[in-house]
Structure 1
Amino acid sequence: MTIIQTRRGVLQEYIIMGSRYIFLKKINEVKRNDIEPIFNDISKDGKYATANQFLVTLSSIFNKAKKWGLIENNPTLAIEKHKLQAREIRLSYDEMGRFLQI
C-alpha cells in the first residue's frame, strides 16, 4: 500500500465519515477542541499510527488553508502525535528489483 493510498483511506474513514461535523464549519472556525476528540477516539482502539496519519492529513489541509490566507493558525499543531516504535520494513523481491532500478 502506498502512502497516497494510506492517506486516502484515512481521509475517507476518519475525516469524511467519522468527523463530518468538522466539515459543517467554516475552516477558520475549526479549533483544536474539534479535532482532538476524534484523534483520541482513533487512539482508543490502539490505532496510534492511524491517529497520527489522521493528524498529518488534516495538518496538510490546514497548512494549505494558511498559505491561501484562509486561516491564521493551524489547529492541529497544538496536538501532540503519538511516539511510535520503529518497525522493520522488508521488501519483496519485486520491490527490491524496482528499488534497485532507481
Structure 2
Amino acid sequence: MKFKIIMALVRPTITEKVLDAARKAGATGDVIISARGSGSSKSKSFFGLELQDQTEILMFLVEQHTVESIIEAIQKAGELNEPGMGIAFVLNVEKVAGLESQMEKFKEQARSKYL
C-alpha cells in the first residue's frame, strides 16, 4: 500500500467542520497542531509588535486511493477557494510503521474503490 499525508492549514473556528468532512470522506485519523502565520498578506501590528493570525495544521495519513475524495471534502468544508480561508496540500510518504490496527480499514477502502 502507498500512503500520502494531507495537510490542511485552517482557521481554528472551522477545524471541527473540516475534520468532520475529512472523516466522512474516508480519513481514519488526524493530528492537530496549533500554529501562527501571516499568509500572503502583511501582518497587523499593535504598538510596534507584529500580530500573527492563529491557525491549525490538520494532518491526515491516508491510503493514496482516498486522497481525491478527502482533499475535495476539505476544500469544500473549509471554503478554501475563498482568500484567507486556508490551504491544503498532499505529501508523499516513503515508509510507514505502526499502522497495523488500521490496515483492515485501508484495505477495505481500496477494495471499495477498485473492486
Q: TM-score, normalised by structure 1?
A: 0.28
User: Which has more strand, going by share of residues?
Assistant: 2
Higher relative contact order (CA 8 A, sep 6+): 2
Q: TM-score, normalised by structure 2?
A: 0.26
